Amino acid sequence: MHKKRCCVKLVLATNNRHKIEEIKAYLTTVEILPRENFDLKEEGETLRENALQKARLVAVKAGMWALADDTGLFVDALDGRPGILSARYAGEQATAQDNIKKLLKELEGLSFEKRGAHFETVVALVHPDGREITVSGKLNGTIAEKSSGREGFGYDPVFWISSFRCTLAEIPLEQKNRISHRGKALEKLKTVLATKFFGV
């Protein structure tokens, strides 16, 4: 007789309601609990460092498993910028529209073929006892010349997916989760959730 595995419960270390929506839509077998409004800083030099920093803080404060992610947009023609500074590319208080405006201005005049880019997400899962794991996912695309679509957030309105002939912001959430950088990372995380990593 197999011993029944306990339900995994975790706290999401993010203030971004759009990320929370995507993660909850993907990790349907996990009980995700609300958290207090912790001050989540990103002081690392890589996506992985930032994700771990946030997850470690919330794991210790909440006394349970915590999940955090960090995502960056890396544009070839800009030597990888905005990268880890994607959320605050146009300034600490910048809106998504501010960031997109700056990005499009910097790419102004470049042909479609030279506007290659990729999204990368690193997801960190941390327990206060020191157990932790990170997984990542990438999505290749091209920066469009103008925004289009209302389904996504961040840089989604200018991230063109050639195979769909539209931007990420024009793809419904369920479909986006199957192809996106965050979806790929969460798919790997689901595999981890099915292992003995968490114990019973």
Q: Is the peptide bond before 157 cis (omega within 30 degrees of 0)?
A: no
The residue ranges of DSSP E strands in the chain, in sequence order, are: 9-12, 31-33, 66-75, 82-83, 116-126, 132-143, 159-161, 166-167
CA neighbours closer than 13 Å in the CB half-sphere of residue 162: 11
Cβ proximity of 148 and 80 under 8 Å: no
CA distance linking residue 191 with residue 195, whole number of Å: 7
At which residue do the structure tokens 């969460």 appear? 186
Q: At what angle do helices 181-193 and 17-26 cross, to 10 degrees?
A: 50
Instruction: List all residues 6 or more positions away from 25 whose beta carbon is below 8 Å from its beta carbon.
Output: 173, 174, 177
Q: Select which of 70, 76, 98, 129 is catalytic.
A: 70
Residue 70 catalytic?
Answer: yes
Catalytically active residues are 70
